[in-house]
Amino acid sequence: MQRLSRLALCAFALELACGETTGSTSGSTGESTDGGTTTSTGTTDDTPTGTSTTTTTPESSTGTSTGEPLTTGGEPTTLGTTTEAATTSTETTGDTDTTGPPAEPLTRAWWVDGNTLQLRILQQDNRVGLCRGLILEALASGGVDTPAYEPIDQPAEWAVRYVFVHDAPDDCFDPYTWYENEPASAAAATGTITLHDADADGQPETLDLEVTGTYAPSAPWTPAEDLLAAAGVVVEIG
């Protein structure tokens, strides 16, 4: 009986020794090879009754890639944002003419009632650098018809007194100072002059003319022959 009691005590002590197991396991923390952080935590609790409870914390991996190429299916892929600058290209082909063709000659006429009644006609021609002029005088006021200009066909009450050119076109349109630019007078002239819609005093509203003068060589700018032509020139009061 005593022997059986000892065996029972030994068996009970052995069962207690084997059943009391208490452990705790903590995982490891390390860095992944791709620059991220991996954390693994595991806890196992054993109770004296032999029941095991395990709590596992999932791995957490954090990684940041900026502008680094990744390979997916053999093709490089770049994560991130790419901004491409827009390029504007302007091509210029050929030459550009900013000046354009010279302006056509500009013609003006004045009715000047002085010692003799005159019609003074001036034309600015920047194309050739000349100012052209022609002056008619009324015969009734003592006008003189220059013999070299008699071939010009003009109204009978008028005479052609002067046909000239000078090389100051920028100073062309002063009907009172034309002679100050040292004009060259035509040696001869031919053509026609027509006056339109004259009033009771003989003053026309407009005039047309086409007169060619020939010049003796007197200066480098003097033309051998020059045409003064215009139509519908309004007659101003000088």
Whether 144 is covered by a domain: the verdict is yes
> What pLDDT score was predicted for residue 161?
96
At 96-137, the pLDDT tens digits run 445 666 678 999 999 999 889 999 999 999 999 999 999 999
Whether 1 is covered by a domain: the verdict is no
Whether 154 is covered by a domain: the verdict is yes
> What pLDDT score was predicted for residue 114?
86
Whether 165 is covered by a domain: the verdict is yes
At 45-66, the pLDDT tens digits run 444 444 444 444 444 444 444 4
Task: Return the higher-pLDDT residue of 176 and 9.
Answer: 176
Whether 133 is covered by a domain: the verdict is yes
Tokens 């827009």 correspond to 86
Tokens 């006609």 correspond to 121
Range(s) of the domain holding residue 133: 106-237
Whether 37 is covered by a domain: the verdict is no
Report the number of distinct structural domains present in the chain: 1
> What pLDDT score was predicted for residue 235?
97
> What pLDDT score was predicted for residue 26?
41
Whether 85 is covered by a domain: the verdict is no
User: In residues, how long is the chain?
Assistant: 238
What whole-number distance in Å separates Cα of residue 25 and Cα of residue 184? 123
Whether 7 is covered by a domain: the verdict is no
> What pLDDT score was predicted for residue 30?
42
